[in-house]
Structure 1
C-alpha cells in the first residue's frame, strides 16, 4: 500500500516534491529502473551487432573494425566525466539526463538510417553506391551515442540515490542491486534479440541483412526510456546544482598545492592534511568535501585491473569458445547465443540471492562484511575465474586437432605456336578430422566465478561511490568509478602487447597474477580507509546537527532574510511617517530631526 509523503524544501537548490512510497520505497525509482532497463537494452543491442555492421556492411577489415569498436567503447566510458560536471555544476541530474537522452536517441536514429543500404543503392544491386555517406553517418551516430550514454551514466544511479532519505540506507542499498539487475536484464534480452533481428532480410530493391531493424529497435527502446523518465518527473526529488563546483574544486586544489610549496620552511608548522593549506582562501566545508572525494579516488587507483579481466569475456573468452565443442543438444540457435548470455543470466539469479540471502547470513554470523571487503572478495574471485580459464585452455591445447596436409605439385609448361599450361600431381589425401573434445560447458565455472565477483564488486562499488560522496559531487564520483572501466580496457591492450606470450593459458595466468597482486594492495588500502558520512561532515562544518540537513540551514537563512526585509520595510514605513509628521512641526523641531 502506498503512503503519500510531502517533502517541503523551500530552500534554494531544492523544489517542492511529492513522493509516493510503496513498501518503504519511493515510487519514483520505478521510472528510473525502467528507464535504465530500456537504455541498457538500447546500448547493448546496438553494440551486439556493431562489429558485424563494420565488417559486412561498411566492408572494413577486421583490424579497422576492432579499432573503431574499442575507440567507441572507450569514449562511452570517458564522457561520463563531462556529464558529471554538467550535472553537478550546471543543469542538475534531471535535466542532464533528459537533454543527453535526447542526444542519445538522435544518435541511435542516425545509426539506423546509416544502415539503410537502399538510400544510395541507385543501381539496385544490393550494395550501397556511396559508402562514404554511410561511414560519415555512422560516425556521427556513434559520437552522439557515446556522448549521450556516457553523459547520463554517472547521473542515473546518483539520481536514483537522491530519491531516498538518509535513514533509508537499507532501501537505497537494495535499489542499487535492483538497478544493476535492470542493467543485466536489458543486456540479456538485447544480446539475444538484436542478432536475430539482424539475421532477417529486408530492403526495398534487394533483400539484405536487416541492420536497420537491428539498430532501429534499440532506437525505439531509447525513445521509450526517455518518455518513461519524463513521465515520472513530478515524483522525483530534484537536487539543483550548487554552482560550478568542479571549477571551485580545481582552484582550491591548485591553491593548496601552491600555498604548500610556498611555505616549505621548517619554521612553519605543518598541517594535518595538505588540503588544509587552502583554508586561508576557501571555506572549510569545501576543503572537507574535497578531502572526501580525493580519499575515494585514491582507493580507485587499483580498481581498473578488475575491469581488465572482466571485459575479456567478450573477447578472449569468446575466442576460446570457438575452439571448443559447442553442441548443446543440437539447439543451434541456443548454441549461437549461449556464451554471450551466460553472464547476464547468472547476474539475474545471483543479485537477489546475494542481496537477500548471503549478506544477511554473513551479518547473522557476526562478520563485519564492509563494502571494501566485498570488493576485495570480488577481485579475488575474478582472478580465480581466469585461473579456471587457464586450466580450460590447457585442456584445449592438449586435445585440439593438428591439421597435417601434404601438398605436392609438379608444373609442366610447353612452349610452341600455342601456349599451354598444365598442372598435375597435386596430392591431396583426405583424412577425417575429429571434433573438438573439450565441451563449451567447461567455461561455465569461469563465468560463475566472474559473475559472483562482479556482483560483490560492481554493485557494491556503485553504492560505495554514492554513499561516500559529498552532496554536491555525487555524479563526479560516479564518473570516476566509470573511468576505471575505460582504463581497464586500455590495460588489456597494453599488457597483451608488452607480454607477447606464446600460449594463451600463460596470458590468463599473467592477468590472474596481476589482479591478485592488485587485490592485496587494495586490501591494505581498504584496511586503513576510514568510512565517513558526508551528511554528518557537511552538517558539522555548517554548525548543524547531523539530522539538520543543508535544506534546513537554507530554510532558516531564507526565514531570517525575510524577517530582515520585513523589519527594513517596517522601519522605512515608520521613517516616512515620521518625516510626514515632522513637516508640521516648528523650526527648532526640524533642526532636532535633521541632527
Structure 2
C-alpha cells in the first residue's frame, strides 16, 4: 500500500490553498466541455451538412464515449499514474483535442477549396472526428479523478471544510456550464472567415480550447501545493477478478457434488475473504437496480441533439434573439434554482404529510416526469409541423401568382383546371398542380388577355409575377429553387423590379446587383432575422426605405415599386411563412426534464453511495457513468432502427419506452431492502476481532502445551 506525498500545506480562509486551483480548473474545464458540446449538433448539420439523424447519431456516440472513458481514467489513476499525473496528462490530450476541433471547423483549410467542396469537407470531418475522440478521452479520463483529488487535499479533521469544497466544486461545474451555454452560441452565431463568411465555429470551439489550456495552466501552477496520493491498486479490478473467479469456480463444479452455497458469489470464498465478498454483494444489489436506468439518459441527453434541432424551427425572439443552442441554458438555470427549493421546501413538506418518499420512489417519479417531458416535446413538435409549408411531391409542381399591376386580374389555368382572381399588389398562396395536366395559363386584366404555355418541372415551386399597363401585360415565370424551409432559423430575401427603370439594389451590407424591369434577384440569406434593414435602390436617383422586421425561418420577395421624394416604395410578399411557434414553448419540457433530473440523478447518486461500502464508491461511480453511456447508445439504436418519419412520433416512442421502463423499475424497487453498510461492516469487524481473539487464545494454549 502506498502512502501520501504531502505538498506544502498553505491555508487560505481555513482551506488548503491548493483546492482553489482545483475549483478554478474545474470551472474552466466545464466551460470548455459544455461550450463545445452546446454548439456541436448545429456544427454537424450546418457546417458539415450532415443529415439530422446522422448528426444525432454522431452526437450521442461522442457523449457515450465521454462516459465510457472514465472507467479507463479511474484504472490508470488508481493502478498506475496516480490522480495528479492522470489529470495532467489527459488534460494535455483534452486541450489538444479542443484545438484540433477548432482548426477542423475552419472553412478555408486549403488555398483553393473554400467553397465547401468534398476535399475541404473531408479534411474538416477528419480533424473534427480526431478532435472529438481526444476530447472524449480527456474529459472522460479526468472525470473520476478531479473531485477525488480535491478531497485528498484535506486532513481527516477537516470534514466540514471538505463538505464545503464539494459544494464549491458543484457550483463551479454549474457556473461553467451556465456561462458557456450562454456565450458560445452567441460566438457561433457571429460571422467570420478569410475567403468566405461563415458562422464562427472556429472561435466557438476556440474559446473552449483556450479555457481548457487555462485550466491546464492553473492546475500545473498549484502542483507544489498538492497532496498526491500514490496509486494503491484499483478496487474495480479487484471486484472484477473476484466476480470472475466466482463464476469460473461455479462452472468448474457443474455436475459434481458440493456443499450448498447461499449466494453464487460465495464460490469465491476459497480465494477471497468474507468481508470483500459481502461488500461486492451489496454493490451488485445496487448495480442490478441500474439495469433499467440507461433509458432515462437516452431521453435526458436528447436536449443537446433533438431538442436543439427542434428549436431551429422556432421563433427565438424574446425581445432579444435567443439562438437555438442557447435554449439548453434553461436546464442548468433550473437546476441551480430547484435543487435548494426541493431540498428545503418540497421534501420537508412531503415528510410533514407523513408520506414515505423513499429514494427509489423519488427515482421512479423522476423517470415518469422524464417521460412526460417527451410528451410535451411531441405536442410542441405537432404545432411546429402544422406551421411547416407543404412542398410539391413527385409528379407535382406549385405556382404562386403575384399581381404587380394596379388593375385586378383573373388567371385561368388550362385546360380548365381553375380560375383565380388576384387583386392589385396582392399574391396568392402556392397552388399545387399535377405537372402532366397543367399546360398553360391565361391572364385577363383590364381589356387585355395573355396566354403563357407551361412546361413545369416536378417537385419545383414557381412564382408567376405579372403586371398590366395600358399597352400590354408583362410577366415573368420564376423558379423559386426552394424545396425546404430554411433549416437554420435564418431567412431568405430576394428583390423583383416592378419599376420601368434598371435598378441597382442593396440591403444593409448585401448587394443584389442590377435588375432589369420585372426581373428578380437570387435569394440571399438575412444574417440577422428579427431586424429591419435599410434598402437602397437607384431608380435612377437613389431612394431609401427601411424594410419591415424579418421573421425567422422565412423567405420573402420584395417588390421595388416606385420612388417618391427619394423614398422607396416597396411591397413585401411572403414566400415561406416565418417560424410561428415560440421557443418559450420548450420551457415546459425543459422544466419537466429538470424536475426529473433532480429526482432521478441527484437522488440516484445519494442512494447508491448510501447503499455501498466506503471502499466501493468508485465501483458504483463507474457503474453510474456506464448507464449514461449505454443510454446514449440506446438513442443510436432506436434512431437508427426505427422507420419513423415524423419527429413527434419519435418523441412519443421514447416517452413510451421510458414509461415502460419506469414501471419495470418500480417493480424491481419494491423488492429492494435498504441496508446500512456501516452496520454490516461493523458486524464483520466484530466477528474478525472475535476470531482473532480466539485464534490468539488457541496459539497461547498450544504454546503452553508445547512447554509442558
The interval holding the TM-score normalised by the smaller chain is 0.7 to 0.9
Q: Per-residue deviation at 1:232? A: 4.9
CA shift, 1:57, in A, is 5.0
Cα distance, 1:92 vs structure 2: 3.1
Flag the 1:49–1:392 CA change in 2: closer, same or farther, 3 A: closer
Question: 1:333-412 maps to which residues of 2 (within 5 A)?
Answer: 333-334=321-322, 336=324, 339-362=327-350, 369-396=357-384, 402=390, 405-407=431-433, 408=435, 410=439
Q: Is 2:665 the partner of 1:522?
A: yes
Alpha-carbon distance in 2 for matches of 1:378, 1:234? 44
Q: Which moved more, 1:272-281 or 1:180-189?
A: 180-189
Which of 25, 38, 45 matches 1:35? 25
Decide whether aligned partners of structure 1 residues 276 and 374 sit closer, same or farther in structure 2, where only a CA change above 3 A counts. Answer: same
Larger radius of gyration: 2
Q: Residue by residue, what CA displacement relative to the aligned partner does 1:116-165 show, whole Å, maximum 9, x if unpaired?
A: 45553268889897665544433332221111011122333444556678
CA-to-aligned-CA distance 1:22-66 (integer Å, 9 cap, x gap): 68x877655444333221211122223334444555566666555
Structure-1 separation of matches of 2:627 and 2:432: 51
**1:72 and 2:62 correspond:** yes
Is 1:120 the counterpart of 2:110? The answer is yes
Is the alpha carbon distance of 1:289 and 1:234 closer, same or farther for their aligned partners in structure 2, counting shifts above 3 Å? Answer: farther
Q: CA deviation at 1:187?
A: 2.5
Change (3 A) 1:119 1:504: closer
Secondary structure class of the residue paired with 2:432? coil
**Displacement of 1:389:** 2.7
C-alpha displacement of 1:249: 2.8
Higher mean displacement: 367-376 or 168-177: 168-177
- Aligned equivalent of 2:269: 279
Q: Which residue of 1 aligns with 2:185?
A: 195
Q: What TM-score, normalized by structure 2, do the two folds share?
A: 0.63
Note if 1:251 corresponds to 2:394. Answer: no
Change (3 A) 1:484 1:69: same
Name which of 424, 428, 433 aligns with 2:454: 424
Structure 2 CA distance for partners of 1:59 and 1:398, relative to 1, 3 Å: closer
Please give the alpha-carbon distance, in whole angstroms, between the structure 1 residues aligned to 2:333 and 2:262.
49
Q: Deviations over 1:103-127 (max 9, x none)?
A: 1112112223334455532688898
Q: What's 1:555 paired with?
A: none
Query: Within 5 A, what are the aligned runs for 1:28-177?
Result: 30-54=20-44, 65-116=55-106, 120-121=110-111, 132-160=122-150
Which sits farther off after the overlay, 313-322 or 161-170? 161-170
Match of 2:231 in 1: 241
Is the 1:27–1:235 Cα contact (8 Å) retained in structure 2?
Answer: yes
Within 5 Å, give how 1:471-486 maps onto structure 2.
471-486=614-629
Give the TM-score, by structure 1 length. 0.74
Question: How many residues get paired?
Answer: 524
CA-atom RMSD, angstroms? 4.1
Deviation digits for residues 60-90 of structure 1, max 9, x if unmatched?
A: 6666555444332322222122112222333
Q: 1:310 aligns with which of 276, 292, 300?
A: 300
Classify 1:386/1:139 alpha carbon distance in 2 versus 1 (closer, same or farther; 3 Å).
Answer: closer
Distance verdict in 2 for CA 1:238–1:350, change over 3 Å: farther
1:508 alignment partner, one of 641, 647, 651: 651
**Richer in helix (by share):** 1
Decide whether the 8 Å contact of 2:39 with 2:188 is kept in 1: yes
Structure 1 match to 2:595: 452
Q: Which has the higher contact order (CA 8 A, sep 6+)?
A: 1
Alpha carbons of structure 1 residues 464 and 20: separation in structure 2 relative to 1, 3 Å: farther
Change (3 A) 1:395 1:543: same
CA spacing shift, 1:379–1:265, aligned 2, 3 Å: same
For structure 2, list consecutive stretches of 5 or more residues without a partner in the other structure: 392-429, 441-451, 457-461, 466-572, 690-708
Q: Determine the C-alpha separation between the residues in 1 that align with 2:351 and 2:674.
A: 18
Among candidates 585, 592, 617, match of residue 442 of structure 1: 585
Question: CA distance change for structure 1 residues 71 and 434 in 2, over 3 Å: closer, same or farther?
Answer: closer
Distance 1:542 1:190 in 2: 49
On the 8 A contact 1:44/1:190 being kept in 2, the answer is yes
Deviation at residue 359 of structure 1 after TM alignment: 3.9
Distance in 1 separating the partners of 2:366 and 2:356: 16
Q: How far off its partner does 1:15 sit?
A: 4.5
Q: Distance in 1 between matches of 2:257 and 2:609?
A: 41
More strand by share: 2
Distance 1:300 1:450, change over 3 A: same
Deviation for aligned residue 1:337: 5.2
Q: Is the 8 A contact 1:102 1:226 kept in 2?
A: yes
SS of the residue corresponding to residue 406 of structure 1 reads strand
